[in-house]
Amino acid sequence: MPLDILPSVCPHDCPSTCSLEVERLDTHRIGRVRGAADQDYTAGVVCAKVARYAERHNHPDRLTVPLLRVGPKGQGMAAYKPISWNEALDRVAEKFIEAERRLGAETVWPYFYAGTMGLVQRDGINRLRHAKRYSGQLSTICVMLSDTGWVAGVGEKRGVDAREIAQSDLVVVWGGNPVSTQVNVMTHITRARKERGAPLVVVDPYRTPTALVADIHLMPRPGTDGALACAVMHELFRQGFADRDYLARYTDCPQELEAHLQSRPPEWAAAITGVPADRIRSFAELYGRTKRSYIRVGYGFSRSRNGSANLHAVSCLPAITGAWQYPGGGALYSNAGFYGLDKTMIEGLDVRDPKVRILDMSRIGPVLTGDRQDLGEGPPVTALLIQNTNPMVVCPEGLKVREGFMRDDLFTCVHEQFMTETAAMADVVLPATTFLEHDDIYLAGGHTYLQVARKVVEPLAEAKTNHFVICELAKRLGAEHPGFHMTEWELIDQMLKASNKPSADALAAERWHDCARSFEEGHFLNGFPQPGGRFRFKPDWKGMGPWHKGMPALPDHPHLIEEATAEHPFRLVAAPARTFLNSTFTETPGSRQREVRPTALLHPTDCERLGLAEGDRVRLGNRRGSVVIHAKPFDGLQPGVVIVEGIWPNGAFEEGQGINALIGADPGPPKGGACFHDSAVWVRPA
Ligand SMILES: Nc1nc2c(c(=O)[nH]1)N[C@H]1C(S)=C(S)[C@@H](COP(=O)(O)OP(=O)(O)OC[C@H]3O[C@@H](n4cnc5c(=O)[nH]c(N)nc54)[C@H](O)[C@@H]3O)O[C@H]1N2
Ligand SMILES: Nc1nc2c(c(=O)[nH]1)N[C@H]1C(S)=C(S)[C@@H](COP(=O)(O)OP(=O)(O)OC[C@H]3O[C@@H](n4cnc5c(=O)[nH]c(N)nc54)[C@H](O)[C@@H]3O)O[C@H]1N2
Ligand code: SF4
Ligand SMILES: [Mo]
- Report the atom number in ligand 3 closest to the C-alpha of 50: 5
Q: pLDDT tens across 558-585, in order?
A: 999 999 999 999 999 999 999 999 999 9
- Cβ 96 vs Cβ 129: under 8 Å: no
- DSSP label of 84: -
- DSSP label of 512: E
State if residue 146 touches ligand 2 by the CB under 6 angstroms criterion: no
The CA dihedral of 557, 563, 565, 568, to the nearest 10 degrees, is -160
Query: Residue 284 pLDDT > 60, yes or no?
Result: yes
Distance CA 555, CA 572 (A): 24
Residue nearest to atom 23 of ligand 2 (CA): 583
Confidence of residue 3 (pLDDT cuts 50, 70, 90): low
| DSSP H or E segment with residue 28 | none
CA–chain centroid gap for 588, Å, is: 21
- From the CB of residue 567, how many other CB atoms can be counted at a distance below 10 Å? 10
- Report the atom number in ligand 1 closest to the C-alpha of 218: 38
State if residue 302 touches ligand 2 by the CB under 6 angstroms criterion: no
Mean pLDDT of the chain: 98
Q: Which CATH architecture has domain 570-685?
A: Beta Barrel (2.40)
- Cβ 601 vs Cβ 577: under 8 Å: no
Beta bridge mates, 535: 251
Cα 182 to ligand 1 centroid, rounded to whole Å: 10
Residues with Cβ–ion distance below 5 A, ligand 4? 142
State if residue 578 touches ligand 1 by the CB under 6 angstroms criterion: yes
State if residue 670 touches ligand 1 by the CB under 6 angstroms criterion: no
Tell me the average pLDDT across 217-236.
98
Residue nearest to atom 12 of ligand 1 (CA): 13
pLDDT value at residue 621: 98
Tell me the average pLDDT across 145-161.
98
Distance CA 91, CA 87 (A): 6
Query: Residue 361 pLDDT > 80, yes or no?
Result: yes
Domain ranges of the chain: 4-53, 67-142+341-514, 145-336+535-544, 570-685
- Looking at the chain, the whole-number percentage of residues with pLDDT higher than 70 is 100
pLDDT value at residue 526: 97
pLDDT value at residue 542: 98
The CA dihedral of 400, 401, 404, 405, to the nearest 10 degrees, is -150
Identify the nearest ligand to the CA of 176 by its number: 1
What Cα–Cα distance (Å) separates residue 295 from each residue in 51, 168, 170, 205, 589?
A: 28, 10, 8, 17, 36
The CA dihedral of 254, 258, 260, 266, to the nearest 10 degrees, is 140
Confidence of residue 2 (pLDDT cuts 50, 70, 90): low
pLDDT value at residue 260: 98
Q: pLDDT tens across 74-105, in order?
A: 999 999 999 999 999 999 999 999 999 999 99
Query: Residue 4 pLDDT > 70, yes or no?
Result: yes
Least confident of 2-11, 495-504, 514-523: 2-11
Confidence of residue 593 (pLDDT cuts 50, 70, 90): very high
Distance CA 288, CA 323 (A): 9
CATH superfamily label, 145-336+535-544: Dimethylsulfoxide Reductase, domain 2 (3.40.228.10)
- Looking at the chain, the whole-number percentage of residues with pLDDT higher than 90 is 100
In 3D, which of 324, 206, 271, 297 has the Cα closest to residue 280? 271
Query: Residue 496 pLDDT > 70, yes or no?
Result: yes
- pTM here is 0.98
Cα 240 to ligand 4 centroid, rounded to whole Å: 38
177: left (phi over 0), alpha (psi -120 to 50) or beta: beta
State if residue 142 touches ligand 2 by the CB under 6 angstroms criterion: yes
pLDDT value at residue 132: 98
Query: Residue 1 pLDDT > 70, yes or no?
Result: no
In 3D, which of 88, 188, 634, 665 has the Cα closest to residue 415? 88
- From the CB of residue 251, how many other CB atoms can be counted at a distance below 10 Å? 23
Cα 388 to ligand 1 centroid, rounded to whole Å: 20
CATH code given to domain 67-142+341-514: 3.40.50.740
* Residue among 582, 659, 679 whose CB has most ligand 2 atoms within 8 A, to mutate: 582
